[in-house]
Structure 1
């Protein structure tokens, strides 16, 4: 009681001293060769900490060996949370309220009109990206507060969403959050947009760091560093694909980012590798990185380049988000302006097109994957089951980078001739765009997200499966079997070589051998019992995806678009890099402050979910 009164008194004094500041403006100079953003020059320093009273400072001190105080085993009191809010800048600490609380009559903010609005937009990725805690896949939060138009009596609980989130506007807030979480022994999560297929940016009882509003960008025409000289863009952690692509168009250049419009380019996307419509020419987004600004687990802010810290630079470029620190900005290469021929079309079974004929058309396409990838193109396509023995193919789109319309037509003519010879009707809609941005904006659909009745899984199919006829036959048979069994196929044809001049990084080595990144899924009903859902998941993981793994057991999967239950995830997501990544994890984050499901070191922890499913609605415990 006495201690609580002391803290309350100190807080009152601190709040009254409005001139007191716990952040300090520092020089913008950076060893990266590009100045720090204004948001990065406002930092927590030892001098700034010294301005706090001793009892206050004890909650925010920098780490030395990352040890957790045994005295901090209890949840912080309300007074401590108020202190934390004050040092952040009052109003920056957000107490999480799930988006769909407005749909529940038992909640104080119940509002049927707002509920209808949330329900109508629930599958729109912009909605979840703009919320400090919501994620794109509520299955991994625990499905505790879903929108509903029904007259419900159930409560809307917080579930696996973080309890609080820091709305970051400058680096000092990240440092304060990291130190507070470490010293208070809180679970810590980092969210930019929440796109990750496994829910890595959520966790029950966690303190969230929300980097979504770090939107600064700065162009350098002639950047020099990391063995590179040329145009580069520094972008804050909150910059999204639509932001960076528009900026590159303004500059008359091309940026490397995801195909999805709302993906956070400088967040978990680039840290996990990041494939792109430009991958067949320039590799992964991680291959473009020249420098990163990062807050480490000890709370210190550092600039990481290949020269200053080659080990950490290697690990951050592809080793996974939410693992080694909180990235505040990334400097990446920009590429020359490119023209693109974009093509969309479809075909399907019908009274005149049998299933075997349909699959002959698919086989003719897939056989040409090496040719198309080597030509620098990128294809995003679906093969969908539409009924017993009925299927549809959607090319959505074929992205012919550096191809004029005539060059594109010449490239695809052998396949199109096969389709015509098979009697498969299709009408390609092909258009040439002189700029990447316009082709991307016209070509790729806005992501549909927020399903709570679906589990996805993926595989990176290697070129070797095309170079050996028996392996190709096995691959094609496995895919056809999967789709015939009722599972959809969403796939990308591309190659992902390390570009000349880019340093080696920790991206999954399977990427360097791949010709197809394929994704499928399984579903259940909203009324399916949890035990049955778990059985469906296990069958999908081990049987459905097991067919895929059998065709290329030494390959892997893309960690950001994968099955959260992937067996031996260390090999599947990180390959031969895992042992080195794990050792670096122990060096930079010895207590495991940064935990994320299937991230490096996550095998040392366990979440005991309340529903028995692989979600984050449960206590995180060290194994």
Structure 2
């Protein structure tokens, strides 16, 4: 119900169309206009706000970013000037949503009950300027008490100020202010990231959610990229349900995530982004034709195949909140097509655990042919520690551009083996006339706000499936994780490399057959020391087992554990050295920081409780 209500309320968008050919450098006139407008703004503190100004040595040599109580914390007058420069869109200490649940001037028991009822629904969080969908990363300081009772409501890892940006100059002003004052800067679109990259204690946040324009371009030509076809130019705040609907109305499809409220044009696409269409077209980052970006110097630039090419390379897979703040993203549009979907489940309750696992083992044999056929399987393995019952959910097997007969032929070999094992299930194979309807009716609404869990991930390459021996090894490790009470989420897919795309996307994606996630839980009211011990054991145990059987492979930077060891190699592989070099070149003062982002090893959040979260100062590693 929540899903349909919120989508219906938010779907209307202004979609414009361009029929004349568009080149990569289109839009420079707008950039010139914005730059001139910003430079003409009167300010008695203009040195804080000018692009290209180098911060004073006291800032660049400070051990930590600047925080309230520090002598150099900006004055009220300085914040007031920033508010003027951003057209009065600076929010001063926005209250956490759950403030209504705790004693104080905002307490409202009715509103607290209403909030608690939808707390796990992503639609209730992305519309808020500060909320993160990972409270563990925020510091667990203000949640509804029936979810987690923090006994009071403090800001924890939430920012102190938020620029509710709607124009590029708002972003420029924020970047310049942060660079030249030393205040920590964070960027939030929807707050979906598993690792909490959109938060930061007492930081200045730039909220890009309201950049919502969508423009359809019938012909976009880029000879360097070898592309000549339709495209969509999107504001960075455009989400999956918005662009998918817009593309459908134009008879097209675009590559994006399965989660409907994810900000496709923000951190998702900058970090790579896997998709139900990745087996056909590659990652989200592979689709990018052009960016409009505010750089660390505060300049608004176009980054594409001919302008600011290093920035363009890095922002296609190098991660969000790292090299610049995207304002708009132009992406390839693909044909629409019919799609066939299958959704079903079975448990070990009546058939026993050995038969259940024999059915899972049989499925592993078909991972390569299914991925090669261009399908995308999203399935879960759920253990129940109390009953000993295991549950498999296929939600869904997604077969774009496949007829009902073609999809059934792909599934039948496995289904026959399940039948032979006596495993009963209803395959519920359904054919849709287009991608959009198949997507809308097939994927579950993502649940958020997990309070005592974290997720690790691994990309298992083709080598893990090429022989019966390797498939048995992989299966045994998945089973071991379930028997260790790890909830698992899996994506059987191939991520193609379109025209040998030259970008920062982790090369491990190109060899991927199974993108696997497993989660660890800890006692809700355990001590910080107990929680940290469990999280370390998870990385050294279950996650290390997965790494050991997939040497040289990787992990996905947006769906991972903050404690992933050697994250540079895991998230970017052989691309990491070049990304480090570009980070120093494009952001020499580390204006941008996000945990486990490129160059983040130079900094550390000194959290109050010692756990990996944003509730603490950001300081240099000495």
RMSD, aligned α-carbons:
2.0
Instruction: Indicate the SS of the match to 1:58.
Output: helix
Match of residue 20 from structure 1:
none
Instruction: Indicate the SS of the match to 1:504.
Output: coil
1: distance between equivalents of 2:148 and 2:598? 43
Match of residue 49 from structure 2:
60
Match of residue 186 from structure 1:
183
Kindly provide the CA deviation profile for residues 184-213 of structure 1, in whole angstroms up to 9, marking residues without a partner as x: 110000000011100001001110000001
Task: Note closer, same or farther for the CA distance 1:37–1:470 as it changes in structure 2 (3 Å cut).
Answer: farther
Residue number among 110, 121, 125 corresponding to 2:122 in the alignment = 125
Instruction: Indicate the SS of the match to 1:393.
Output: strand
Instruction: Indicate the SS of the match to 2:418.
Output: helix
2: distance between equivalents of 1:229 and 1:278? 20
Residue number among 350, 358, 361 corresponding to 1:360 in the alignment = 358
Shift of 1:367: 1.1
Shift of 1:487: 0.9
Shift of 1:410: 1.1
Residue number among 207, 210, 223 corresponding to 2:207 in the alignment = 210
Match of residue 99 from structure 1:
97
Shift of 1:278: 0.4
2: distance between equivalents of 1:51 and 1:349? 67
Instruction: Indicate the SS of the match to 1:598.
Output: coil
Question: Does residue 148 of structure 1 match 2:148?
Answer: no
Residue number among 170, 174, 195 corresponding to 1:173 in the alignment = 170
Residue number among 122, 137, 159 corresponding to 2:156 in the alignment = 159
Match of residue 503 from structure 2:
505
1: distance between equivalents of 2:194 and 2:38? 39
Q: TM-score, normalised by structure 1?
A: 0.91
Instruction: Indicate the SS of the match to 2:45.
Output: helix
Native 8 Å contact 1:289 1:332 kept in 2: yes
Match of residue 43 from structure 1:
34
Native 8 Å contact 2:23 2:221 kept in 1: no
2: distance between equivalents of 1:389 and 1:129? 36
Match of residue 197 from structure 1:
194
Instruction: Indicate the SS of the match to 2:465.
Output: helix
Match of residue 435 from structure 1:
434
Shift of 1:530: 1.3
Native 8 Å contact 1:343 1:429 kept in 2: yes
2: distance between equivalents of 1:176 and 1:63? 12
Shift of 1:68: 5.4
Instruction: Indicate the SS of the match to 1:376.
Output: coil
2: distance between equivalents of 1:68 and 1:412? 63
Instruction: Indicate the SS of the match to 1:132.
Output: coil
Native 8 Å contact 1:69 1:183 kept in 2: no
Q: Which moved more, 1:490-499 or 1:218-227?
A: 218-227
| Stretches of structure 2 lacking an aligned partner (at least 5 in a row) | 1-20, 61-65
2: distance between equivalents of 1:574 and 1:41? 34
Q: Which moved more, 1:56-65 or 1:367-376?
A: 56-65
Instruction: Indicate the SS of the match to 2:510.
Output: helix
Native 8 Å contact 1:585 1:600 kept in 2: yes
Task: Note closer, same or farther for the CA distance 1:37–1:276 as it changes in structure 2 (3 Å cut).
Answer: farther
Shift of 1:42: 6.0
Shift of 1:127: 1.4
Kindly provide the CA deviation profile for residues 119-144 of structure 1, in whole angstroms up to 9, marking residues without a partner as x: 11111111111111111101101111
| Equivalence map 1:462-473=2 (5 Å) | 462-473=461-472
1: distance between equivalents of 2:29 and 2:417? 54
Native 8 Å contact 1:100 1:145 kept in 2: yes
Q: Which moved more, 1:603-612 or 1:56-65?
A: 56-65
Match of residue 32 from structure 1:
24
Match of residue 82 from structure 1:
80
Kindly provide the CA deviation profile for residues 487-520 of structure 1, in whole angstroms up to 9, marking residues without a partner as x: 11110000002113x6311111110111011111
Instruction: Indicate the SS of the match to 1:331.
Output: strand
1: distance between equivalents of 2:298 and 2:57? 14
Instruction: Indicate the SS of the match to 1:136.
Output: coil
Native 8 Å contact 2:38 2:169 kept in 1: no
Native 8 Å contact 2:215 2:234 kept in 1: yes
Native 8 Å contact 2:41 2:85 kept in 1: no
Q: TM-score, normalised by structure 2?
A: 0.92
